[in-house]
Amino acid sequence: MLITILVSAGVVAAVGLFLGALIGFTAKKFEVQTDPKIEAVQELLPGANCGGCGYAGCADFASAIVTKDADPSGCSACSDAMLAKIAEVTGKAAGKKEKMTAVVFCSGSFSRSERAADYNGILDCRSASIVAGGGGKACRFGCLGYGSCARACPFGAIEIRDGLAVVHPELCRACGKCVNVCPRKLIRLVPASAQVHVYCNSLEKPAKRRKLCKIPCLACKKCIRADESHMQMQGGLVRVNYSNPPEPAFVEQVKCPTGALQVEEIHRKLEAFKPAAPAPKAAPAPKKEESK
């Protein structure tokens, strides 16, 4: 009985050792020689495979950095510290890169927008936009609110709050996936240092905009007139000048009549905005007394 057990154990152990040795030998003999730097760089990259660099994933980008001199700052998901570490490994200086973030240029949550219809269908923005303009909101330039961008984001940086997509800049790595997915082209990548934006995308006639949404940009250009270096018109839309963005205090100063010009932190909270009290009407000039 004991002999049987010993013999069986011995045979199995021998077979195991033999196969293990065989595997070890072939692994070493037929190893594909890769530059160890590629693996080192790949370890340092975020590993999200978001495609923001334009390559097919982090492994591909790592190999491009080492063998084809690709600029590591092409990875929009990398922080400056990570870029420095990569530069150490490759021995090549990394380019300077400004941190960007995505912004959804719309303020129209469900409670703020007029309803056009009771939408019944696929709850996806691209699918909904195929149905007669799409979705339940009346404004055909605004955010549909069904979350295609949120699902596309590999970093979970977009949240749908009350039917409005809101980006969390601290999580956003500016890979650009949300920009491609939005059927209304509402999302753009802008410098992360800009904290003030005009959250409206409507090209509707200004008179009509108030009927569609509670916080539209009326294109009254009050903010442009207040400071032309910070604000500008771009393709029919009032936009912040992102090469010289204003500070949050600018919003207080301008007193936008609807609240479409807003600080990012306040916009994110989606609280009901109280429009500034209208400036008191100037008293009519006293009638000039008839000269005697």
Q: What is the binding site for another protein (CB under 8 A)?
A: 114-124, 126-127, 130-134, 136, 138, 140
Cβ proximity to another protein: between 118 and 271 the closer is: 118
The least CB distance from residue 151 to another protein, in Å, is 10
Cα distance between residue 245 and residue 229, in whole Å = 9
Q: What is the three-class DSSP state of 55?
A: coil
Cβ proximity to another protein: between 94 and 153 the closer is: 153
Helices 58-67 & 80-90, crossing angle to 10 degrees?
Answer: 50
CB atoms within 10 A of CB 102: 26
Cα distance between residue 166 and residue 106, in whole Å = 9
- Angle at the Cα of 238 (from 236 to 242), degrees rounded to 5? 120
Cα distance between residue 12 and residue 22, in whole Å = 15
Cα distance between residue 197 and residue 192, in whole Å = 11
Q: What is the three-class DSSP state of 196?
A: strand
Cβ proximity to another protein: between 36 and 133 the closer is: 133
Length of the chain, please? 292
Cβ proximity to another protein: between 119 and 155 the closer is: 119
Long-range contacts of 157-161 (CB under 8 A, 24+ apart): 157/102, 158/102, 158/104, 161/109, 161/270
The least CB distance from residue 131 to another protein, in Å, is 5
Cβ proximity to another protein: between 209 and 267 the closer is: 209
The least CB distance from residue 202 to another protein, in Å, is 13
Tell how far CA 82 is from the center of its chain: 20
Structure tokens at 159: 């949240």
Which candidate, 196, 199, 234, places its Cα nearest to that of 214?
A: 199
The least CB distance from residue 204 to another protein, in Å, is 9
The least CB distance from residue 109 to another protein, in Å, is 16
The least CB distance from residue 11 to another protein, in Å, is 28
Cβ proximity to another protein: between 71 and 114 the closer is: 114
| Dihedral of alpha carbons 228, 100, 66, 86, sign | positive
The least CB distance from residue 193 to another protein, in Å, is 33
Cβ proximity to another protein: between 9 and 122 the closer is: 122
